[in-house]
């Protein structure tokens, strides 16, 4: 069969376009335009990438003298994270070299949210910051009344965040102007989660899980627990259930629309960690005593448990069929078979009994995690 010159060039151009598109899709998969604490706005704690199944090797290390308590955020070829030294860092994802840093003067424990070319985070100075992701230049700032441990969510050009001044804030993402403010009855350490219908879920030290209208700040319902809530809600939009752990030692499952309690599961110790939700009907949560539980999402009955041997403030993360979680004992990062609870490998990320709250984030066959003694670590599939 013979081809005309026009056919030849059409085929060549089509091939080139497919190649460019393929590279673009691969790039989009490895570096998302948005990055949020717990992986998404629903705070499911899962990443749809290729997991690190074998004991990893060190790709690079960005050393720091002070602990990293934030979970890293990804975007624009960089990894962003705060430190107790008061700086927000931007580091090249491939090389581990510093691109820029932004100084706040107080420790940072709020995980940044990255949306396109803007990064948002809170500081223990009580300030919400918006920065240019390329340069680290400040775009705007907003002062709350107390420290910020909460990690922001950004949706429809609105930034949502909680403060120890007992309030939940909604701010204009472009200007930082206040849209609304909702006051709970105690400090808000929890981070906001959002569903697809515009409902915001957040916990408070007053023991309540709140559901708020994200546009107006109006309270839709609240669920009372018997302890302070530090954890962030995890929302399963497919089943219509929101999960929250309380320092009363229970993991709660509530109906998203009404807040009606479906079940609760007692883990036997306080819960600081946020839950991770699987696609296969399981919910994973850490007790402070270092026990990881897999719980049936429908019934609240335990499927398996795993003992890590030390306290666990950090929240578990699910990638495919592998669950990752960290204990304070030697800063051990565990990879666990998510279906049966068997240990796959462990990796020491820091020194013994260093309290941490950093959880890993993932690209294909690479994870990044903050350490309390070793800085930021990039760990790769061997």
Instruction: Transcribe 179-197 into DSSP letters.
Output: EEEEE-SS---S--EE-TT
Question: b/e for 125-138, b at 16 or more Cβ within 10 A?
Answer: bbbbbbbebeebee
* Nearest-angstrom CA–CA distance, 179 and 186: 21
| Parent domain of 338 | 35-380
What's the pTM value of the predicted model, to 2 decimals? 0.91
The closest alpha carbon to 326, from 372, 357, 281, belongs to 357
Segment 247-278, tens digit of pLDDT: 999 999 999 999 999 999 999 999 999 999 99
Tell me what percent of the chain is helix, strand and coil, each rounded to the nearest 5.
Answer: 10, 40, 50
> Residue 201: pLDDT above 70?
yes
> Residue 11: pLDDT above 50?
no
Confirm whether 365 is domain-assigned.
Answer: yes
Q: What is the CATH number of the domain that holds 286?
A: 2.130.10.10
> Residue 4: pLDDT above 50?
no
Which residues are paired to 131 by β-bridges?
119, 138
Residues 249/271, Cβ–Cβ less than 8 Å = yes
Residues 6+ apart with CB under 8 A from 103: 86, 87
How many domains in the chain?
1
Residues 51/352, Cβ–Cβ less than 8 Å = no
Q: Are strands 343-348 and 261-266 parallel, antiparallel or unpaired?
A: unpaired
Confirm whether 312 is domain-assigned.
Answer: yes
Q: What is the predicted pLDDT for the residue at 257?
A: 97
Q: What is the predicted pLDDT for the residue at 33?
A: 65
Provide the pLDDT confidence category of residue 34 given band limits of 50, 70 and 90.
Answer: confident
Confirm whether 342 is domain-assigned.
Answer: yes
Q: What percent of the chain has pLDDT over 70?
A: 90
Confirm whether 22 is domain-assigned.
Answer: no
The phi, psi pair for 25, rounded to 5°, reads: -65, -40
User: Mean pLDDT across the stretch 87-94?
Assistant: 97
Segment 131-145, tens digit of pLDDT: 999 999 999 999 999
> Residue 8: pLDDT above 50?
no
Q: Cα angle at 337 between 334 and 341, to 5 degrees?
A: 90
- Sign of the torsion formed by the C-alpha atoms of 163, 237, 82 and 128: negative
Q: What is the predicted pLDDT for the residue at 7?
A: 36
Provide the pLDDT confidence category of residue 328 given band limits of 50, 70 and 90.
Answer: confident
- Sign of the torsion formed by the C-alpha atoms of 368, 373, 375 and 381: negative
Residues in the chain: 382
| Token pair of 267 as six digits | 């883990």
Residues 173/158, Cβ–Cβ less than 8 Å = yes
User: Tokens 């030294």 label which residue?
Assistant: 85
User: Tokens 């091939």 label which residue?
Assistant: 15
Confirm whether 114 is domain-assigned.
Answer: yes
Element (H, E) at 13: helix 5-30
* Nearest-angstrom CA–CA distance, 201 and 193: 5
Segment 14-32, tens digit of pLDDT: 333 333 333 333 333 355 5
User: Mean pLDDT across the stretch 155-175?
Assistant: 98
* Nearest-angstrom CA–CA distance, 324 and 345: 10
Q: Cα angle at 303 between 300 and 309, to 5 degrees?
A: 110
| Token pair of 305 as six digits | 């448990």
Confirm whether 97 is domain-assigned.
Answer: yes
Mean pLDDT of the chain: 91
Element (H, E) at 12: helix 5-30
Distance of alpha carbon 63 from its chain centroid, rounded? 22
Confirm whether 49 is domain-assigned.
Answer: yes
Confirm whether 231 is domain-assigned.
Answer: yes
User: Mean pLDDT across the stretch 69-89?
Assistant: 96
The closest alpha carbon to 296, from 261, 262, 260, belongs to 262
């Amino acid at each position: 069969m013979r081809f005309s010159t026009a056919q030849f060039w059409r085929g060549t151009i089509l091939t080139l376009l497919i190649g460019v598109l393929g590279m673009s899709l691969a790039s989009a998969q490895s570096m998302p335009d948005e990055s949020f604490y717990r992986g998404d706005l629903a705070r499911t704690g899962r990443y749809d990438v290729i997991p690190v199944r074998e004991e990893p090797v060190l790709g690079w290390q960005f050393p720091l003298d002070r602990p990293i308590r934030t979970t890293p955020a990804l975007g624009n070829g960089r990894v962003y994270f705060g430190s107790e030294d008061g700086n927000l860092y931007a580091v090249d994802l491939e090389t581990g070299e510093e691109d820029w840093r932004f100084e706040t003067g107080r420790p940072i424990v709020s995980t940044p949210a990255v949306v396109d070319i803007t990064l948002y985070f809170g500081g223990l100075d009580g300030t919400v910051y918006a920065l240019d992701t390329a340069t680290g230049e400040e775009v705007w700032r907003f002062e709350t009344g107390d420290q910020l441990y909460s990690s922001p969510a950004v949706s429809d050009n609105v930034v949502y965040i909680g403060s120890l001044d007992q309030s939940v804030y909604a701010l204009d993402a472009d200007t930082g102007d206040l849209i609304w403010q909702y006051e709970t009855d105690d400090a808000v350490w929890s981070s906001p989660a959002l569903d697809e219908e515009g409902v915001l879920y957040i916990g408070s030290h007053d023991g309540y899980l709140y559901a708020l209208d994200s546009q107006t700040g109006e309270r839709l319902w609240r669920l009372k627990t018997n302890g302070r809530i530090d954890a962030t809600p995890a929302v399963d939009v497919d089943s219509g259930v929101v999960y929250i752990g309380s320092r009363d030692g229970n993991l709660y499952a509530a109906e998203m629309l009404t807040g009606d309690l479906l079940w609760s599961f007692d883990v036997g110790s306080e819960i600081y960690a946020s839950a991770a939700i699987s696609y296969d009907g399981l919910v994973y949560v850490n007790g402070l005593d270092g026990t990881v539980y897999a719980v049936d999402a429908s019934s609240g009955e335990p499927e398996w448990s795993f003992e890590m041997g030390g306290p666990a403030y950090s929240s578990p993360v699910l990638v495919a069929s592998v669950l990752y979680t960290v204990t304070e004992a030697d800063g051990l990062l565990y990879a666990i078979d998510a279906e049966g609870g068997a240990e796959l490998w462990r990796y020491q990320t820091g020194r013994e009994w260093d309290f941490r709250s950093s959880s890993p984030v993932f690209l294909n066959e690479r994870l990044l995690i903050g350490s309390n003694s070793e800085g930021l670590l990039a760990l790769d599939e061997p």
